[in-house]
Structure 1
Amino acid sequence: MNLQGVCLVGELYGWAVGDGGMILATTDGGATWHPQGDTDKDLRAVCFADTRRGWTAGRDGIILRTTDGGATWRESETGTDRNLYGISFDTEGSCGWAVGDSGTILATRDGGANWRPQQSDGTHFTRCFTLDATTAWIIGKGGAVRATRDGGETWVTQYSGTGVDLRGIHAVSPDLCWAVGRGGTVLCSRDGGATWTAGDSGTETDLYGLWAAPDGREMRACGDDGVILTSADGGLGWSPRGSGTAKDVVSLAFTPDLGHGWAVGDGGLILATRDGGTIWEPQLNGIHKDLVAMHGHGAVRWAVGRDGILIVTEDGGASWREKDTGTRETLWGVHLLDDERHGWVVGEGGTVLVTEDAGASWQERSAPVDVALLGVGFEAGGGRGWVVGEGGTVLVTEDAGASWQERSAPVDVALLGVGFEAGGGRGWVVGEGGTVLVTEDAGASWQERSAPVDVTLTAVHAGRNGTACVVGRGGTVLTTTDGGESWLRRASGTEVSLWGVAFVAMEEEGWAVGDDGTILATDDGGATWTTRHSGITDNLKAV
């Protein structure tokens, strides 16, 4: 997942956008980032007028706008399905432009509520910059530069003196403007674009992002292979700065005093600087996709989720790194043996993957179904395992997942969670409609147990000697001590959906997690639960 645009409002507020409809927001200077929006279309640029009003543009002509800091994003009618790559507004947040494929130029005079096309040729435009309600520039392929001084009623073609694609543009006055592009191209105009002069960037690397301080002296640029450049003389001379990454850095932005800056790029990269761009530190390691399941032992944990993502920690969560599973399918379940080398993941379309080298490589295993597989569990030795999924699917393996056999279940609803007691004889499966299944023969046969609820049950922890704890929607917590013959509904103190539950070895101390940052704790085997403050409002999916 690549990030394509970034915008700052003061020292604390910022937004980054990118592939797959990703919108990330921070309100604490980048200490934490939270996803926003619900589109799946690639977003290419973002612009905010203040901490509440903002806009983003991207694939298929999409423009989203917010008036509440991104709590809600609404799609604007653009009248085009052409890809948009740039969006920019004046400081008042009233007048703006969006540009893209096939010469697309869209203009708004009402804060992005309505957009209308403006006259253009067929040039592929990449970015735009709005100085005020009347003055703006557009750049594009083949060294294209267009400028307006009348609010876009007319766009004047300016001769840039280059034929390379231009990718970044910034202006500080109606006269002073810069552009960057492929091959390390840096251009400057001091007469509003009537003439452009090429500068020496000191690199032949493609440049994408450009920013200039209000006085027009301090400048910053970024590009391929982690390149970040600084200039203190209005772009006459440039110096490289260490970014600490080899990933492409696509966009960057600063506060006017250079006190804070962020840069974003490929692989979900977000870098931060507090010294004007001399030293850069990663704020996020690129892991922004939804995570839905987690498993591990001791200080080692594996988590999986959207687009085939797998992230691993070996130091108790102090740091995480991503490993390539070789799939883009959403992964719904993960199981790691205590040898920390053998593991399995399952997901959409009957996906079953296995690793024998701690996730360095993965092999696909054939499953007898093509439905979404939602949960997975293995006995301690890793020989025998179980998978559950949509349509009442229950799969069993006796050879470490090399082959899988389907077992008959007495239901046809989605099954979300699976858990087995140590030894692998008695096991539990839970799912939609209050479904609880139990097996006493390692999954060869399954019997349905009556639960006192009809809501979706999402996760199960298998204890010892017929004890179990189940959680689900509506704050549901159920416990049994007799193999599921009877169930007690426990007071959780919440009505949000709970998605994960786990206990320590002695089975007295445990936790459950759910929507809105909910964390519940118990120290009496699940009989009573108390809320723990998480400090976040994100939905928590596993523990």
Structure 2
Amino acid sequence: MSSVALWPTRRRVLALAAAAVLPAQAAETDRFGALSRAARTVVRPERAVLLAGALAGERVVAVGERGVIALSDDGAGRWRQARSVPVSVTLTAVRFADAANGWAVGHGGVILATRDGGEHWVLQADGARLAEAAASAAAGLAADPRGLALAKEAELLVKDGPDKPLLDLHVVDARRVVVAGAYGLFFETLDGGMRWTAALDRLDNPKGQHLYALAVRGSTWLLAGEQGLLLRSTDEGRRFVRIASPYNGTWLAACATRDGEWVLAGLRGHAWRSTDDGQHWTRLEGAPPASLVSASALPDGGVLLANQAGQLFVSGAGGPLTAVPAPALPPLSQALPLPGGARLALGFGGAARLDTKA
């Protein structure tokens, strides 16, 4: 496995989980017990390690370690814990189709769904079920040139058990969702999560490199991962082809701006922008050599980035990165804009609302 960002960034948490190996004699229930234990109850969920957030209508939903899901209905001022979360694995990404329907992913290949804006969550799939879906898909591709390779990948997934994390997801609507993760994991549902199917055969990723970020702009989708991996789809995620990357290091974040540009961010402060659908890239200068772990589109067409040194940056259309004035923060995993111009920083120190509009 190639080097990745240092703890405690969201992606490092996932990579550590993917690399962890417990003693061979450990029982399956011990290895993966967190898949069947409810989330840990905490007094102040906003002080837990929170790794990702999203808006469910006007509600802020943040997810993190030990299955903690924190909710705020006043713009990240006051927080409470979700009423029901069936797992205690670390959750790494969350997205919503609307104010009610959302999904979260995390360690163990966990996929959770909510129908009430994050109050209650149900387990739709884990790594074991996804491995079975991969094996089924491989069996259906026996006549395909990639069938044998996919069968071997599926066999390893089944053998290893649910030990591989999911890193990101895209929610098209309340029925179609795709998830991506370590070792090239890529799965899809077309019925709101009742059935998840393997879609690994859509990717030009023969080495099974980690997929850290998924960004979408209309029918064009971009997958970014380790060792400069960039995959692009122009048909709404039905087939991805590899495109040239401006950087050979690992990408940790990607987003599409309001004005139709792509922004990539990753190790050692690398951030790049493309205005022509990934044919050419321009370096965004201004960040120190600390890994950029989050990129979020801003309403004005700019982008908000966060790094593992606890710093936030913004960039307007075509402009350099400018530091956001803020108090010293612990290492961050994600930053996202809130209605009204405030920012929400999530990471090792929990949730921090920043009211600056810089």
Q: Identify the TM-score tier after normalising by the shorter chain.
A: 0.5 to 0.7
Q: Which residue of 1 aligns with 2:227?
A: 433
Does the Cα contact within 8 Å between 1:396 and 1:443 map onto a contact in 2? no
The alignment status of 1:402 with 2:164, answered yes or no, reads no
For residues 229 and 41 of structure 2, what CA distance do their matches in structure 1 show? Answer: 40
The alignment status of 1:445 with 2:217, answered yes or no, reads no
Aligned-residue CA RMSD (Å): 2.0
SS state of the match for residue 471, structure 1? strand
TM-score (norm 1): 0.45
For residues 336 and 450 of structure 1, what CA distance do their matches in structure 2 show? Answer: 31
- Aligned pair partner of 1:326 in 86, 93, 110: 86
Does the Cα contact within 8 Å between 1:429 and 1:436 map onto a contact in 2? yes
Task: Report the CA distance between 1:506 and its aligned residue.
Answer: 4.2
The alignment status of 1:302 with 2:61, answered yes or no, reads yes
CA radius of gyration, larger in: 1
Task: Report the CA distance between 1:374 and its aligned residue.
Answer: 0.7
The alignment status of 1:522 with 2:284, answered yes or no, reads no
CA gap 1:358/1:286 in 2 versus in 1, 3 angstroms: closer
Does the Cα contact within 8 Å between 1:302 and 1:336 map onto a contact in 2? no
For residues 268 and 421 of structure 1, what CA distance do their matches in structure 2 show? Answer: 37
SS state of the match for residue 334, structure 1? strand
Q: Which residue of 2 aligns with 1:504?
A: 298
State how 1:93-112 maps to structure 2 within 5 Å.
none
Task: Report the CA distance between 1:286 and its aligned residue.
Answer: 4.6
Task: Report the CA distance between 1:512 and its aligned residue.
Answer: 0.5
Task: Report the CA distance between 1:502 and its aligned residue.
Answer: 1.1
- Aligned pair partner of 2:211 in 415, 418, 425: 415
Aligned-partner residue type, residue 284 of structure 2: R
Aligned-partner residue type, residue 498 of structure 1: L
Does the Cα contact within 8 Å between 2:230 and 2:242 map onto a contact in 1? yes
SS state of the match for residue 295, structure 1? strand
SS state of the match for residue 309, structure 2? helix
State how 1:129-528 maps to structure 2 within 5 Å.
267-269=41-43, 285-296=44-55, 299-323=58-82, 324-338=84-98, 340-366=99-125, 367-369=129-131, 370=162, 371-379=164-172, 381-407=173-199, 408=201, 409-411=203-205, 412-422=208-218, 425-463=219-257, 467-507=261-301, 509-524=302-317, 526-528=318-320
Does the Cα contact within 8 Å between 2:112 and 2:123 map onto a contact in 1? yes
CA gap 1:464/1:437 in 2 versus in 1, 3 angstroms: farther
Does the Cα contact within 8 Å between 1:469 and 1:479 map onto a contact in 2? yes
SS state of the match for residue 491, structure 1? coil
For residues 480 and 377 of structure 1, what CA distance do their matches in structure 2 show? Answer: 21
Which has the higher relative contact order, 1 or 2, with Cα contacts under 8 A spaced 6 or more apart? 2
For residues 392 and 527 of structure 1, what CA distance do their matches in structure 2 show? Answer: 33
More helix by share: 2
SS state of the match for residue 437, structure 1? strand
Does the Cα contact within 8 Å between 1:503 and 1:510 map onto a contact in 2? yes
Aligned-partner residue type, residue 394 of structure 1: F
Aligned-partner residue type, residue 267 of structure 2: R
For residues 226 and 239 of structure 2, what CA distance do their matches in structure 1 show? Answer: 19
Does the Cα contact within 8 Å between 1:466 and 1:484 map onto a contact in 2? no
Task: Report the CA distance between 1:268 and its aligned residue.
Answer: 4.5
More strand by share: 1
CA gap 1:356/1:299 in 2 versus in 1, 3 angstroms: closer
Aligned-partner residue type, residue 188 of structure 2: V
Structure 1 gaps of 5+ residues are 1-265, 270-284
Does the Cα contact within 8 Å between 1:427 and 1:442 map onto a contact in 2? yes
TM-score (norm 2): 0.67
CA gap 1:286/1:464 in 2 versus in 1, 3 angstroms: closer
Task: Report the CA distance between 1:490 and its aligned residue.
Answer: 1.4
Structure 2 gaps of 5+ residues are 1-39, 132-161, 336-358
Does the Cα contact within 8 Å between 1:309 and 1:322 map onto a contact in 2? yes
CA gap 1:268/1:345 in 2 versus in 1, 3 angstroms: closer
Does the Cα contact within 8 Å between 1:302 and 1:312 map onto a contact in 2? yes
